[in-house]
Chains A and B, each alone.
Chain A
Amino acid sequence: MTKADATPVLELTGIGKEFGAIRALHDVDMQVFPGEVVGLMGDNGAGKSTLVKIIAGNFRPSHGEIRFAGSAVHFNRPVDARAVGIEVVYQDLALADNLTAAANVFLGRELKRRFGPIALLDHKAMAARALELFGELRSETRPDDLVKQMSGGQRQAVAIARTRLSNARLVMMDEPTAAISVRQVEQVLGLIHRLKEQGVAVMLISHRMPDVFAVCDRVVVMRRGEKRADKPIHQTSPEEVTALITGAKEAA
């Protein structure tokens, strides 16, 4: 990957966040390039989730600047981040159990057909598109089934399918492989590869070292609210990353 000539899709400079007296993040600089998969690692409380929430528009940073595709952005709500092309797969997946898979995929951006002044939902088009997306994810998920009747992997597929609706340029995945079967982990990693082929940048927040080393181009390690390492994956090793996470090694 040639980085010098590409504009980073996401560029963070000096991002800091305080919650009262607690300093959750301090002076984080980071760049993510199109088609790059970046693993974000760190122990609980290292500041990963805070960083993700800032990028996703859930929190505003106390300090620093976020640039998206070259221009400075300020997100007040998650919808603002989504509008520029940042999609997030949340750890708890953010699904409504009482709705169908297709309804969940299209939640908040339903397809409609206009009949004069009235816009009615286009159930058929949504089901067809959802089936197509599930097919791409190789997930055996029927668009008309209720989410409450689904397995963990199917739910994951629904949540990921949602990010594929728009022209997302950065997809952040919060522990996408934490609660699913081995076969489905393969599928999710496969999907990450496909996003990458499309030039979509992916940020993978994960505790699972094998997954990070399987798909990521670069790994960023957080500890105590600071970035401690930012290395291409082939220049590091699981052992070194573990040492960085635990603090056995201060920085790299």
Chain B
Amino acid sequence: MAMPLESPITFSNVGKIRWWQRGIFASQTGYVLLALAVLLVIMHFASPYFFTQGNMQNVAKNFSFIAIATLGVTFVIITGGIDLSVGSMMCFSAMIASMVMTELSAPGSPLVHMAADGKTVLANVPGLILLVSILAGLGVALIAGLVNGFCIAVLGLSPFVTTLGMLSIVRGLGYVVSNGRGSFPGGPDADYFYALTSGDVLGVPVPFIYLVVLALTMAVVLHHTSFGRHVFALGGNEKAAELTGIPVVRVKIEVYVICALAAGLQGIIISGWLGSAPANMATSYELNVIAAAVIGGANLAGGIGGPLGAIVGCVLLEVIRNGLVLAQVSSYWQQTLVGVIIILAVLVDRIRSRMI
């Protein structure tokens, strides 16, 4: 149905948006990144230990411990939703993974068949126990994510209430299955498990490598696939998304599943670093995760956010924490400062959008 152009389009009174008024330069992520760079320079002069290799590895590791979950929750926030169950989800997945690992490795366990050599069948294949237990941990996250998504997208419950409920349900289940004691990764594959969760590759902490890979994947998914486009459209105008034929229900369920899986993976990684999955692990981490996402520029009203922002938010939080320790300020100040930064970041964004 193409019609011939009578004359090429001219832009006589519509100015071109300048490069510094669009994209990252005009986003909260952009100037939080700038603030982070300034902060790094200040830290460099404030403490000679800050830019040492050991401290950098430490910082990279520490922010990776919340950043993967932050990537997940950013998906949900872009659609205009929220997921408060990430902290509990981290704990539950970690706990299930290490319990399954211990259970499958134990010779006396009723769940496993004994092979002729006195080991369990699964233990004769190196890495198989590890694989099964991690899949089990992610499996429970998948189920919780599906329940969240179903309640929100199909039943139409509010995301805040649904995931608040899920926070409590999953935490409670964690106490039920562990009897409140927590669990430890054990058995023949425990060494692989520690290597995969808290090891380094050429001095780079592995959680950081996972983070980078996942963040790049997320960037491609958000900006170069129709799923990503639908996620943004859902956050921008849900009614429009529906009218234009976007499968709104499916996209919503998918983002809650992604978020839960990211939290589950994050929990499993944290448990490798802690060497255990205590029942009170990652309590109230959802607040850190959401704070990091918001500081990095994700808009709780929906429609805006991305992996770079999520990471920048996490790094900023970690650098402040680390900096306060190096500067020998009481670490109790950290929480207060984080709160101030959340409000400042959003305030600056508001002022900037009024100026344009």
A-facing residues in B226-283 (Cβ within 8 Å): 226, 229-230, 232-233, 235-237, 239-246
Stretch binding the partner chain, chosen from A16-24, A39-47, A141-149, A241-249: A141-149
Cross-chain contact B237 with A94 (CB below 8 angstroms)? yes
Residues of B within 8 A of A109 (CB): 244-245
Nearest-neighbour CB distance to chain A for B193, whole angstroms, equals: 30
Q: Which residues of B contact A (CB under 8 A)?
A: 1-3, 5, 8-14, 16-17, 22, 220, 223-226, 229-230, 232-233, 235-237, 239-246, 303-304
From B11, B13, B236, A96 is in contact (CB under 8 Å) with B236
Q: Which of A134, A135, A168 has the most chain B CB atoms inside 10 A of its CB?
A: A135
A99 touches B229 (CB 8 A): yes
Contact status of A136 and B224, CB under 8 A, knowing A94-B239, A97-B236: no
Q: Which residue of chain A lies nearest to B22 when distances are taken between CB atoms in the complex?
A: A146
Contact (Cβ within 8 A) B11 A107: no
Main secondary structure of the interface of B (DSSP, over half): loop
Q: Using A98-B232, A103-B233, A140-B9 as known contacts, list a sample of 19 further A-B pairs with CB atoms less than 8 Å apart, ordered by residue number in A.
A: A88-B243, A94-B240, A94-B244, A95-B240, A96-B233, A96-B240, A98-B303, A99-B229, A107-B246, A108-B230, A118-B225, A119-B226, A120-B220, A121-B224, A132-B2, A140-B12, A142-B14, A149-B17, A194-B3
Q: Shortest Cβ distance from A116 into chain B, in angstroms? A: 14
Chain A nearest CB, measured from B76 CB (Å): 16
- Please tell me if A65 contacts chain B, counting CB pairs below 8 Å: no
* A78 interface contact, C-beta 8 A: yes
Q: Which chain A residues numbered 165 to 214 have a C-beta less than 8 Å away from chain B?
A: 167-168, 194, 198
A-B contact pairs, 7 of them (CB 8 A): A94-B243, A95-B237, A95-B240, A107-B233, A108-B246, A120-B225, A142-B14
Whether the pair A96, B241 counts as a contact (CB closer than 8 A) is yes
Q: Does residue A59 face the partner (Cβ distance < 8 Å to B)? A: no
Residue among B225, B240, B246 having the largest count of chain A Cβ atoms under 10 Å: B240
* Cross-chain contact A120 with B224 (CB below 8 angstroms): yes
What residues on B are CB-neighbors of A149 within 8 Å? 17
A residues within 8 A CB of B3?
136, 194, 198
Contact B236 A99 (CB under 8 A): yes
Q: Complex: how many Å from CA A44 to CA B236?
A: 29
Instruction: Select one of B17, B22, B223, B226 contacting A112, CB under 8 A.
Output: B226
**A-side interface residues toward B, CB under 8 Å?**
78-79, 82, 88, 90, 92-99, 103, 107-110, 112, 118-121, 123, 131-132, 134-136, 138-142, 145-146, 149, 154, 162, 164, 167-168, 194, 198
- Measured between beta carbons, the chain B residues less than 8 angstroms from A141 are 14
| B233 proximity list for chain A (CB < 8 A) | 96, 99, 103, 107
Contacts of A99 in B (CB 8 A): 229, 232-233, 236
Measured in the bound complex, the distance between the Cα atoms of B225 and A110 in whole Å is 9
> Given the complex, which residues of A lie within 8 Å of B303, measured CB to CB?
96-98
Known A96-B303, A142-B14; contact A108-B8, beta-carbon cutoff 8 A: no
The interface residues of chain A lying within 8 Å CB-to-CB of B243 are 78, 88, 90, 94
Shortest beta-carbon distance from A18 to chain B in Å? 24
Q: Is the CB of B14 within 8 A of A140?
A: yes
A132–B7 alpha-carbon span in the complex (Å): 11
**Is the pair A79, B245 in contact by a Cβ cutoff of 8 Å?**
yes
Chain A residues whose CB sits within 8 angstroms of the CB of B236 once the complex forms: 96-99
A residues in contact with B220, CB < 8 Å: 120
Q: How far is the CA of A141 from the CA of B242 in the complex (A)?
A: 24
Residues of A close to B246: CB separation below 8 A:
107-108
Q: Say whether B226 contacts A110, CB under 8 Å.
A: yes
